[in-house]
Amino acid sequence: MAESFRMTVAVIGNVASVALYAAPTVTFKRVIRKKSTEEFSCIPYIVALLNCLLFTWYGLPVVSYKWENFPLVTVNGVGIAFELSYVLIYFFFASPKGKVKVAMTTIPVLIVFCAIAIASAFAFPGDHGHRKLLVGSIGLGVSVAMYGSPLVVMKKVIQTKSVEFMPLPLSLCSFLASSLWLTYGILIRDIFVAGPSVVGTPLGILQLVLHCRYWKRKDNVEQQKGDTIEKLDLEKGTLANNYNGDLVGKGNLENNNNNIINNVTNHSNCNSS
């Protein structure tokens, strides 16, 4: 019964995590459509990529004992594909300065992961306990950084009083995934699985609170933009009508002048006759 419940939580956690990884597709559709990264940051996606790499490695039999952490491998393997795609899309549409920033951040991250993987594989031959301690400790720190990275975005939300750059699907999926993995980590008694969610769950709640606080502000801003555009259209229409009216008035005046000239000319001809 306990095993079935644990696997159920793991499966639901996998689904929620995949939804979390897929949530930024809305953001990157906007990036592709506008061909600009605007004010979005690449740092959360690079940190998430490193997190997925570390926990995929943590779940493999090289580090863990056999396949005891198989759910970590499946969900983080999917996460690697998503996060790598986001980083590449960001790099493609970033400004030249932004491209340098992405490269200067991503390359060291990949080097660090390779170093950790090599060290954990060869420094502790046959010792899964120490391998898990090494990879898990580093993964724990990276996960805390991953869950903490939205703090920059939350600060911007509070300053601008707008949740435009903090998508609701991302915040909601972050809360669900962290809550479920916290539960799963407690059930399997693994501090390296549960630990990150101790930070992630409260931050997910905070993001949802900010959405409840400022979502009306976003609607008001969009409404103001719509009203401004409509007002400009009306003003353009009024100006166009006035301009057309002036043209019509000038045309009528010219016609009246021509009629007067013709009448005078005809009258003169009659007198000459």
Evaluate if residue 229 carries a pLDDT over 50: no
Number of domains composing the chain = 1
Whether 164 is covered by a domain: the verdict is yes
Whether 12 is covered by a domain: the verdict is yes
Residues 233 and 225: their CA atoms lie apart, in Å, by 12
Whether 234 is covered by a domain: the verdict is no
Which of 131, 154, 155, 147 minimizes the C-alpha distance to 195? 147
Q: Which of 86-100, 178-192, 222-236 has the highest mean pLDDT?
A: 86-100
Whether 23 is covered by a domain: the verdict is yes
Whether 254 is covered by a domain: the verdict is no
Residues 257 and 266: their CA atoms lie apart, in Å, by 14
Q: Please report, rounded to a whole number, the percentage of residues in the chain having pLDDT higher than 90.
A: 21
60-74, 189-203, 240-254, range with the lowest pLDDT: 240-254
pTM value > 0.85: no
What is the token pair recorded at 117?
A: 């993987």
pLDDT digits (tens, 9 = 90+) for 20-57: 888 888 889 989 998 888 878 888 889 889 999 999 99
| Domain span holding position 25 | 1-222
Q: Cβ of 110: how many Cβ atoms within 10 Å?
A: 13
Whether 252 is covered by a domain: the verdict is no
Whether 239 is covered by a domain: the verdict is no
Whether 75 is covered by a domain: the verdict is yes
